Amino acid sequence: MSSATSTCSSADAYFGMLKVDMAAQVIIIPMSAMAEALTRLDTPEQVEQALFLLDLGVVVPDDLTRDNTPSVATIHLTAKGDTSLGMAHAALAARTRTARVVTSTPVVWSSAHPGVDVVALGILHHDMRPGCRA
């Protein structure tokens, strides 16, 4: 993978998060949801690019711990629709921290976890991303 592609992908992630909410103080990333997302990628390079998000100064990792595991399991078991461990963990983090979930699947979220405030993550157009080629 070329460094231009890597830089472009890192910039995409950065500008995408800025576009979601310019007034955000922190971005909470449940580590179980991050692990699920990483398993859906195709190459180690893509994993490295995704992990770039954790290096942003505004990111607060939310670990799955002995203390919050029972709550995550309860949320998973009582979800109104299809969900995953990562989604249940993100729902708990959003509820306990009064935060929004940024997702590319808002319909899935609204049916599975109707009490969680969801923001749809849009796809940036190529002409909006500095230094990126179509």
68 part of a folded domain: yes
pLDDT tier at 14 (50, 70, 90 boundaries)?
A: low
* pTM summary value: 0.66
Rounded Cα distance, 103 and 106, in Å:
6
Residue-range definition of the domain harbouring residue 102 = 3-128
Which amino acid would we find at residue 91?
Answer: A
**Total tally of structural domains belonging to the chain:** 1
Lowest mean pLDDT among 20-29, 53-62, 105-114, 115-124: 20-29
CA-based Rg of the chain, rounded to a whole angstrom?
16
Predicted confidence (pLDDT) per residue in 16-69, tens digit = 666 555 455 577 888 998 888 888 888 888 888 888 877 877 778 889 999 999
133 part of a folded domain: no
134 part of a folded domain: no
Domain CATH for 14: 3.40.50
